[in-house]
Amino acid sequence: MTKTNTPIIIVNFKTYSEATGSKALQLAKNCEKISLEAEIRVGVAPQLVDLKQIVKAVSIPVFAQHMDPIKPGSSTGHVLPESIKEAGASGTLINHSERRIKLADIDTTITRAREVGLTSLVCTNNSAVSAAVASLKPDMIAIEPPELIGTGISVSKAKPEIVSGTVELVNRINPDLVVLCGAGITTGEDVAAALRLGTKGVLVASGVVKAQNSYNVLSEFAEATARA
Amino acid sequence: MTKTNTPIIIVNFKTYSEATGSKALQLAKNCEKISLEAEIRVGVAPQLVDLKQIVKAVSIPVFAQHMDPIKPGSSTGHVLPESIKEAGASGTLINHSERRIKLADIDTTITRAREVGLTSLVCTNNSAVSAAVASLKPDMIAIEPPELIGTGISVSKAKPEIVSGTVELVNRINPDLVVLCGAGITTGEDVAAALRLGTKGVLVASGVVKAQNSYNVLSEFAEATARA
Amino acid sequence: MTKTNTPIIIVNFKTYSEATGSKALQLAKNCEKISLEAEIRVGVAPQLVDLKQIVKAVSIPVFAQHMDPIKPGSSTGHVLPESIKEAGASGTLINHSERRIKLADIDTTITRAREVGLTSLVCTNNSAVSAAVASLKPDMIAIEPPELIGTGISVSKAKPEIVSGTVELVNRINPDLVVLCGAGITTGEDVAAALRLGTKGVLVASGVVKAQNSYNVLSEFAEATARA
Amino acid sequence: MTKTNTPIIIVNFKTYSEATGSKALQLAKNCEKISLEAEIRVGVAPQLVDLKQIVKAVSIPVFAQHMDPIKPGSSTGHVLPESIKEAGASGTLINHSERRIKLADIDTTITRAREVGLTSLVCTNNSAVSAAVASLKPDMIAIEPPELIGTGISVSKAKPEIVSGTVELVNRINPDLVVLCGAGITTGEDVAAALRLGTKGVLVASGVVKAQNSYNVLSEFAEATARA
């Protein structure tokens, strides 16, 4: 989902009640609706149990929330890259702040994603870590200062220089890397600010999932990015 | 799946190629077939991504391979008990030797399974650990000495006194606890031996999943248990 | 340190500034002083780096705060039981709420402690987990509900029935097990209450370490236990 | 220990019997002896329990094998940077292959090492990961392909292009970074090869610790580097 300049919104469903089971399916359909109507590309990252059903129901990119750096074999309770691919997903989040993994495992998971044909989106917490991840050559990164996650305070407002500085720093190491920004995104203005600071879009969770009307929030995002 | 004396076979699909995606579905149907034909109860533990589809396709118990001790909320990349329940699963493995968890998390996961109405099946590695788990009041345990897993050497043959001793020990602490045995189960005689030693059945993986004909292996298990 | 009925106080130094390096040594000497003067037995659990120096300086029991379930070999950055023993320590904490470990590792660490001649003291968070640990046959357990740690609200006051119920439950499984109670211990009355509920003593941290005068606090503990 | 061009040898004591307690002290003294006699700088990385005693006994750099990314406070069983510093150590290994940590924790541990005045030496497993770590600005890295550790097959022989390529790659990102190489170092020729490929020295473990005469092995290293 990285060829054009159309802004990218990826909605992380986390393990919220509002995004589990049949509610996850409905939320994914709302995301697809806005994606068809407006000039934004919306992807979803549902829970693993709901992933395959959502892939079948919608035509937008679907990401796993986590994937293990393993090959097929004896690994009970782990997430096999091949299982994500065969389910029809487009990619996977890696190293989300709520699911941090070891450095060597980030490297191997990116490699495994490439091998099976999945887009890798690595979450990072600051500029130095973002630069580090750039050397591992994932497809995308999302910078999310953990102290802002779930606060409603957007990183693009609270720490704009982290966002613009990170975009510059990582693109010096890896010019093809798509940078998103996350943490605290709740309004269209947050999304527009993220784009003005050089990112290609946002990774958002509670701002959409826990909204009274997720479709309306995404509409606001789309309108704000059209003006940005 | 614990009321009658009909032997229980639970097939752990792990992350084997032979038990991923469409192959997982086919394997689950073979398990259902033998369950309908013979005097054994067969349950399956597929990968999370395949779980919901398999629940819809078959009428036998389906277990998750792992579940996290969490409540709905901000937990990216984790396995929410409510998501497993809403998908229609019957229960979950906990603390498999390939996915060991902390003691306090075993306790909380068992509690959460009970809260949402899932059967808890905790894997253990020796008699002392089995007795410890019995105090946490899960529905079932499966004793699997890790040094035997995947070897084709059955615990009921290599260490029969561990199996019978564990059954006695845990039932003194918790008389309702159903004890299975695992590790190295490949033949009907392994299953029959497990039953003779006081268990209610087996947890099996490669012996079925990697068999040339999984249906035939399960048939052999059923015949052997009928004679046991 | 389990033969007599003299109350046991174990002071966990954690990684507090007030209990690091030369300050750790001074605190250990205060603990030794009160141990010689009053009818209590005081043990200390300093950081690993300070352990050997403290063992040489004082004649009271010294515990490691954590130990790994390993044998001598290739384990960089881990804590070898033999290194703790050769340093002259008496025992080790296991599974503290700030250093929870896997169930199978608790079992192996207790076994390794026994093999090298160290006292094992396992921390637990509730009655069910305490009963589970009793089956693993450590020398001592300390029940510390995590929600009370560092609050100044003593478990023996906030949840007296947990303490007395746990003592009864674990001694049914393992009559030799010495039960301590921790979390929120700050006054002599907290210690006296813990003893009245059937424990043999307490595991305490900030209540002593962060006191203006640790010697005075320990004196108060000793006086209260003499009256208990 | 990074100003001159004198080759650096850092000896990782791991948790080997031959490098525990009084034997650790003797080994450290042998390392000091060769350091005083020959044109090499030798540092040692003993177990935490032995660290302070060794710092007092020898005048060569002493490293911790692991350090946690924490500040003083409530962290039972963890390794506080301030405790390592106050003990007189020079630095710490970070992310050894036997003690891999999360990416965000590598970043924080490097920062904490700088704050308290310790040299940070991060272990890496391949070129991409080495480049990633270079962006985090540690003082030194040691590249150790895990498949070679403990084999006696030196990375500088088995995979010379990994070593030279990594030196070039990381120095493009961070010209001040000192690169060592590890895994399989047993002979003087291994050390000389490492230097010829652009590294400043080696991180060695069993090759020295488990040698019949560690002093002789280090002498051979010194002679080979003098010729290199």
User: Could you report the per-residue pLDDT of B139-171, keeping only the tens digit for each?
Assistant: 999 998 777 666 777 777 777 888 899 999 999
Nearest Cβ partner for C129 among B100, B107, B173: B107
Q: What's the rounded Cα separation, in Å, for the pair D201 and D223? A: 14
With contact defined as 3+ CB pairs under 8 Å, the chains touching C are B, D
- For B188-220, give one letter per residue: b (16+ CB within 10 A) or e: bbbbbbbbebebbbbbbbbbbbbbeebbebbbb
Tell me the sheet residues that pair with C42: C9
Radius of gyration of chain B (CA): 16
Please tell me the predicted confidence (pLDDT) of residue D76: 97
Structure-token pair, residue C182:
């921790």
Active site residues of A: 96, 144
DSSP-based three-state secondary structure for D46: coil
Q: What's the rounded Cα separation, in Å, for the pair D137 and D174? A: 7
With contact defined as 3+ CB pairs under 8 Å, the chains touching B are A, C
Please tell me the predicted confidence (pLDDT) of residue A4: 66
Structure-token pair, residue A4:
């054009």
Res C1 pLDDT > 60: no
Res A149 pLDDT > 80: no
Residues of B in contact with A83 (CB under 8 A): 15, 20-21, 47, 49-50
CA distance B96 to chain C (A): 11
Mean pLDDT score, A24-47: 96
C-alpha of D14 from chain center: 11
Q: What's the rounded Cα separation, in Å, for the pair C195 and C185? A: 12
Residues of B in contact with C137 (CB under 8 A): 128
Q: Is the ipTM of this complex over 0.90?
A: yes
Subunit contact C132:B135, Cβ cutoff 8 A: yes
Q: Which amino acid is at A39?
A: E
Q: How far is CA C150 from CA A154, B36, B81, C47, C125, in A?
A: 33, 57, 30, 18, 14
Please tell me the predicted confidence (pLDDT) of residue C182: 87
Nearest Cβ partner for D132 among A95, A100, A132: A132
Q: How far is CA B138 from CA A95, A102, A199, C126, in A?
A: 32, 32, 49, 16
Dihedral angle sign, alpha carbons of residues C141, C146, C149, C152: negative
For residue C14, the chain D residue with the least C-alpha distance is D76
Mean pLDDT score, A126-153: 88
Structure-token pair, residue B44:
């399956």
Please tell me the predicted confidence (pLDDT) of residue D182: 87
Q: What's the rounded Cα separation, in Å, for the pair C92 and C81? A: 9
Q: Best mutation site among D127, D135, D137, D171 for testing chain A: the one with the most A CBs within 10 Å? A: D135
Q: Best mutation site among A103, A108, A109, A141 for testing chain D: the one with the most D CBs within 10 Å? A: A103
Q: Which residues of A touch D (CB under 8 A)?
A: 95, 100-107, 125-126, 128-129, 131-137, 173
Please tell me the predicted confidence (pLDDT) of residue C225: 86
Please tell me the predicted confidence (pLDDT) of residue D47: 98
Q: What's the rounded Cα separation, in Å, for the pair C162 and D191? A: 61
Q: Best mutation site among B130, B135, B141, B168 for testing chain C: the one with the most C CBs within 10 Å? A: B135
Res D158 pLDDT > 90: no
Nearest Cβ partner for B80 among A15, A75, A97: A15
- CA nearest neighbour of A88 among A41, A36, A50, A123: A50
With contact defined as 3+ CB pairs under 8 Å, the chains touching A are B, D
Q: Say if residue B172 is exposed, middle or buried (CB neighbours under 10 Å; 0-12, 13-18, 19+).
A: exposed
Please tell me the predicted confidence (pLDDT) of residue D157: 76
> Between chain D and chain A, are at least 3 CB pairs below 8 A?
yes
Give the per-residue SS3 of chain A: CCCCCCCEEEEECCECHHHCCHHHHHHHHHHHHHHHHCCCEEEEECCHHHHHHHHHHCCCCEEECCCCCCCCECCCCCCCHHHHHHCCCCEEEECCCCCCCEHHHHHHHHHHHHHHCCEEEEEECCHHHHHHHHCCCCCEEEECCHHHCCCCCCHHHHCHHHHHHHHHHHHHHCCCCEEEEECCCCCHHHHHHHHHCCCCEEEECHHHHCCCCHHHHHHHHHHHHHHC
Confidence of residue C161 (pLDDT cuts 50, 70, 90): confident
Size of interface B-C (CB pairs under 8 A): 63
Please identify every stretch of chain B with a pLDDT value under 70, giving residue numbers as ranges: 1-4, 148-150, 228
For residue A173, the chain D residue with the least C-alpha distance is D173
Please tell me the predicted confidence (pLDDT) of residue D150: 67
Confidence of residue C4 (pLDDT cuts 50, 70, 90): low
Subunit contact C78:D70, Cβ cutoff 8 A: no
Condensed to tens digits (0 to 9), the pLDDT of residues D79-95 reads: 999 999 999 999 999 99
Q: Count of residues for chain C?
A: 228
Condensed to tens digits (0 to 9), the pLDDT of residues C13-58 reads: 999 999 999 999 999 999 999 999 998 999 999 999 999 999 999 9
Put residue A100 in one of left, alpha, beta given phi > 0 → left and psi -120 to 50 → alpha.
beta
Q: Say if residue C51 is exposed, middle or buried (CB neighbours under 10 Å; 0-12, 13-18, 19+).
A: buried
- CA nearest neighbour of C67 among C172, C138, C145: C138
Please tell me the predicted confidence (pLDDT) of residue D60: 97
Structure-token pair, residue A91:
């990619």
For residue A14, the chain B residue with the least C-alpha distance is B76
Local structure of residue C117 (DSSP, 8 states):
T
For residue A11, the chain B residue with the least C-alpha distance is B76
Strand D201-204 and strand B41-45: pairing?
A: unpaired
Angle formed at CA A170 by CA A168 and CA A172, multiple of 5 degrees = 70
> Residues B18, B96, B115, B161: which is the catalytic one?
B96
Nearest Cβ partner for A129 among D103, D128, D173: D103
Local structure of residue D4 (DSSP, 8 states):
S
What residue ranges define each of the domains in chain A, with the CATH number in brackets?
A: 13-227 (3.20.20.70)
Q: What's the rounded Cα separation, in Å, for the pair B109 and B103? A: 10
Subunit contact D129:A103, Cβ cutoff 8 A: yes
Do residues A11 and B66 lie in contact, with contact meaning Cβ atoms separated by under 8 Å? no
CA distance B227 to chain A (A): 31
Subunit contact A173:D135, Cβ cutoff 8 A: yes
Please tell me the predicted confidence (pLDDT) of residue D155: 72
Which H or E element spans position D54? helix D48-57
Q: Say if residue C161 is exposed, middle or buried (CB neighbours under 10 Å; 0-12, 13-18, 19+).
A: exposed
Q: Count of residues for chain B?
A: 228
**Summary mean pLDDT of chain A:** 93
Nearest Cβ partner for A73 among B16, B50, B72: B16
Q: Best mutation site among D76, D80, D125, D147 for testing chain C: the one with the most C CBs within 10 Å? A: D76
Please tell me the predicted confidence (pLDDT) of residue C25: 98
Do residues A18 and A209 lie in contact, with contact meaning Cβ atoms separated by under 8 Å? yes
Res C134 pLDDT > 90: yes
CA distance D84 to chain C (A): 7
Q: What's the rounded Cα separation, in Å, for the pair A102 and A111? A: 14
For residue C52, the chain D residue with the least C-alpha distance is D49
Subunit contact C135:B137, Cβ cutoff 8 A: no
Q: What's the rounded Cα separation, in Å, for the pair A199 and C163? A: 55
Local structure of residue C186 (DSSP, 8 states):
-
C-alpha of B31 from chain center: 14
Residue showing tokens 């895990």: D146
Q: Which residues of C touch D (CB under 8 A)?
A: 12, 14-17, 20-22, 45, 47-53, 65-66, 70, 72-80, 82-84, 86-87, 93, 96-99, 149-150, 205-206
Answer yes or no: C78 catalytic. no
Please tell me the predicted confidence (pLDDT) of residue B5: 79
Subunit contact C78:D51, Cβ cutoff 8 A: no
Q: What's the rounded Cα separation, in Å, for the pair D146 and D95? A: 12
Q: Count CB atoms within 10 A of the CB of residue A23.
A: 16
C-alpha of B86 from chain center: 20
